[in-house]
Structure 1
């Protein structure tokens, strides 16, 4: 990978696609599929999905969601640059954030049962995208996502 110059500098909003953060509970597969079925390629948005997953199990979420959309669906990897017209899903037992349009994975700081991965993603989107951030909660119980939604809204996002 070469060096970045001019408009390609990290953090330049013109080079980072608008990101839609999507939160769903463990039982939210059907809602995620229905959402993705409605998305046509060419809208230049990127979609980052955080679902509450069993941290001890491998997930087939990317493969299952790929059947619902024409957009490429990938499991997020640390350091992966977000591309428009793409879907990224959180791997198990990780926290997912976005900085300068790049995905970052970390080991959860909180023990299982106290984790709020949707808040973590949405809060990072608020910091990274500001008024360009978009957040959607499709399903769930509890309040995971509420603080992140408030952070996005406070900066003028949707």
Structure 2
């Protein structure tokens, strides 16, 4: 069972989601589809990008996670696994045997797509910008190579509150700063639980640092990602006012439910200030 460990960020930084408790009339949904065409590119970019960091024991955990994901899951997974810099990686071939998702070793400049798994190559550092992956030579700071932190921090910067960071089994401290960056942007952070992790040092340290939202088995992490993929972030809410997407009557119902649940009147907060 998930343990919710860290206080979530303010509502303004969280994802734009409509609660399942708010039931709108069927005709309103149809009217919304007819009146609000969604730009195709915006729809393509609505899927979550999940950065997954692992070191010792992480491959086994990631394989368990992959096996639970359906082939039509609307997420992209980016695996940052600690690799020996002197050997060719066989990760892509190994992972391809356990999933129907497309598994690729990253090449510089590749654009992230849903239903794909992207694996970092050995002896590199990776970042993401506007959903495009970029590779550079291995980076060491004070003699330490921290590829998980390096990628997750760039994911937080690029995806803001849409970013999802996952830490699996491992012995290093690499990944904690990356999770913290995602947490600070209002994203979702997940760590593998102690019972299932072969090496719990990294997940334990992330939990102790207060930057983990959920602690789950790999199989349950997969189910959580499936849930997130089925409830998109509605990206066009960032550029369109809610009043332009929903009829006023539906907005009033939503505000009424929120007011009843929270004792806060949101109805007068929908207009931008300044």
Aligned residue for 1:42? 72
Aligned residue for 1:98? 128
Aligned residue for 2:89? 59
C-alpha deviation, 1:92, in angstroms: 0.3
1:111-142 CA distance string (max 9 Å, x none): 79500000011001100111110011111112
Contact 1:16 1:82 in 2 (8 A): no
CA distance in 1, matches of 2:63, 2:142: 26
Aligned residue for 1:15? 45
The alignment covers a number of residue pairs equal to 150
Q: Which of 152, 158, 177 in structure 2 is aligned with 1:128?
A: 158
- Structure 2 portions without partners, runs of 5+: 1-38, 189-274
CA distance in 2, matches of 1:91, 1:98: 15
Q: 1:111 to 1:56 in 2, by over 3 A?
A: farther
C-alpha deviation, 1:60, in angstroms: 0.5
CA distance in 2, matches of 1:18, 1:48: 11
C-alpha deviation, 1:79, in angstroms: 0.2
SS in 2 for 1:91: coil
- Structure 1 portions without partners, runs of 5+: 1-5
Structure showing the higher strand proportion among its residues: 1
What is the aligned-residue RMSD (CA, Å)?
1.9
Q: 1:70 to 1:47 in 2, by over 3 A?
A: same
Aligned residue for 1:87? 117
TM, length-normalised to structure 2: 0.52
Q: 1:38 to 1:84 in 2, by over 3 A?
A: same
TM, length-normalised to structure 1: 0.88
Structure showing the higher helix proportion among its residues: 2
CA distance in 2, matches of 1:30, 1:116: 21
SS in 1 for 2:140: coil
Q: Between Structure 1 and Structure 2, whose CA radius of gyration is higher? A: 2
Q: Which of 180, 190, 198 in structure 2 is aligned with 1:150?
A: 180
C-alpha deviation, 1:43, in angstroms: 2.4
